[in-house]
Structure 1
């Protein structure tokens, strides 16, 4: 699209109802498949995710039944089973509070990976600048679901830092995404100013409707209390040229309330009045999220596709409007460029 920007908001609605380098894989590698696994030539390969180890590591099986462990190239999420080193995360203090905050975000990163990757068929691709396997023998790869690269999404959403030691080819784009997440105080970057309890997540809205640094809160027109909550996040800057990666431009709708949202017929609109209508009978369970991708694909419970032929969300700033099926505006947010 135009420049890069990622914006987020939380709205209240009233409803009517760490990798090193190593040898390339070959037939002698215990974990490498001999038929359908990755070759030294760098071909993409489809695998099935059998286990999410943590936010940056997964176990997979190939079509021929062999298994492998994949370390996601270019990113590093906080540890969940070992002590974190805050100095690896820019601005996070080297204190017990900083380590505790990172530990919580390690768990959040694992949950994010599980929601996106667990028990799915994904595509592995490989970076021309890195070795195929790391120091521990794990495969180093980009992991994609459709046209969305999970590695990049984890950085943009604030679940991971950029692992620059690997000198991977997409580093510049990933660093920009991390800078945006840090500037928005998103995800693990809230740990940069932790309180004595281990950190305050300033990227969320509490039940009292407090507006936080990277969120805008909207309440009912009559000032009444909300019966459900929806968090809306826009990812405007796709990995690589936006027009060539439409499904990495998306809006994420998360039901943060305690009851399901009946959203059939709801619309999502940009400032230019491009409109997407959610499928009839679509319901978003409490605590669940759905991603509305700009491009084409097959709708699922967690991924919907606008089927636009070109980028929609302006990287220089835009307005997101969500309306109920009856046309009532239930959320509106303008994000800057």
Structure 2
């Protein structure tokens, strides 16, 4: 009888194991790190930090595909199981493209028709930038322990990560958006990025000059201009033909040796204002009068053309800063456009 009982138990356990494979998959809502009742983060959010944020709790935990870009700070996504959602990017606010803008929300922008018109132009550019960068792409979502999982319009509140970088932060650093005034975890870092963008009159902060010139503050990119700092001359072609995201190799920076001696560039870095960094490969030498073109996209390196290998645009069409540093970290040349 004892043996028969043991056999029955083993059969019962085997049936349970088989049935466990038929359990329904976790839904997108359940896969997020926020508890539906109180908005607190779960253990899955506490992952090692290697994803473009110094805050482990905001690390990405959900994979989605961007199926539509509503505007600069709102996108529609599809989960891996096919369901859809609308995501409002945490911590940022781009100018309105459909409704009326309120200039006093953007520090220094005048409360005038010129100020509002300037903000609308930059709102449209933010939407174009988000479309070029995110539309159709697979991204990951991270959440914030200080914010609820959903906002007033039931939109999912999240950080969007592309290629390991936090897109929300990039919007602020490159002047596409202001920091949204709330108590989100990343607030201190975003505030510093916003101050830097304001001081450089980057992107939307150009609108602060709209009162002085009747609204004609420059919003077009100076796509090719030069900075001469010692023997290394820089030029930037930021605005690729067509959509930047579809033509990444037409976005590039050119390094030209105007000196009489060769330059050993191995280990030197090229960075934008948002600190995206490209490192020149070891053994690279630029002879007097020669140029090296560094394309954003992918390709086979040649003597004259190198490829960053990125999947999204780097250089801001509204103006950006190119900084070249040698292998010791010393700044060799700086070029500002826009």
Q: Same fold (TM over 0.5)?
A: yes
Counterpart-to-counterpart distance in 2, 1:318 and 1:257: 34
Q: Deviations over 1:215-271 (max 9, x none)?
A: x6459x9xxxxxxx624xxxxxxxxxxxxxxxxxxxxxx246899759799879339
Task: Say which of 84, 90, 94 aligns to 1:73.
Answer: 90
**SS of equivalent residue, structure 1 residue 193:** helix
Q: Any conservation in 2 of the 1:318–1:334 contact (CA below 8 Å)?
A: no
RMSD: 4.1
- Any residues of structure 2 matched to 1:211-250 within 5 Å, and which? 217=227, 230-231=236-237
TM-score, structure 1 length as denominator?
0.58
Q: Any conservation in 2 of the 1:37–1:45 contact (CA below 8 Å)?
A: yes
Q: Any conservation in 2 of the 1:263–1:281 contact (CA below 8 Å)?
A: no
- Any residues of structure 2 matched to 1:149-164 within 5 Å, and which? 149-164=166-181
CA drift of 1:35 comes to 5.8
Tell me what 1:121 maps to.
Answer: 138
Pick closer, same or farther for the CA change 1:117–1:84 going to 2, 3 Å. same
Q: Which structure 1 residue ranges, 5 or more long, are not aligned?
A: 1-31, 210-215, 222-228, 232-253, 284-289, 293-298, 305-311, 321-331
**SS of equivalent residue, structure 1 residue 58:** strand
Tell me what 2:190 maps to.
Answer: 174
Counterpart-to-counterpart distance in 2, 1:117 and 1:274: 25
- Any residues of structure 2 matched to 1:49-128 within 5 Å, and which? 49-128=66-145
Q: Any conservation in 2 of the 1:190–1:199 contact (CA below 8 Å)?
A: no
| Total equivalences in the alignment | 234
Q: Which structure 2 residue ranges, 5 or more long, are not aligned?
A: 1-26, 36-40, 46-60, 256-264, 271-277, 285-293, 315-323
Counterpart-to-counterpart distance in 1, 2:200 and 2:79: 38
Bigger radius of gyration, 1 or 2? 2
Q: Deviations over 1:160-204 (max 9, x none)?
A: 00011x210110100000000000000000000115552312784
Tell me what 2:258 maps to.
Answer: none
Pick closer, same or farther for the CA change 1:179–1:68 going to 2, 3 Å. same
Q: Any conservation in 2 of the 1:47–1:121 contact (CA below 8 Å)?
A: yes
CA drift of 1:274 comes to 5.7
Tell me what 1:14 maps to.
Answer: none
Pick closer, same or farther for the CA change 1:144–1:291 going to 2, 3 Å. farther
Asked which structure has the greater RCO (Cα within 8 Å, sep 6+), the reply is: 1
Q: Any conservation in 1 of the 2:143–2:157 contact (CA below 8 Å)?
A: yes
Counterpart-to-counterpart distance in 2, 1:92 and 1:140: 27
Counterpart-to-counterpart distance in 2, 1:136 and 1:37: 18
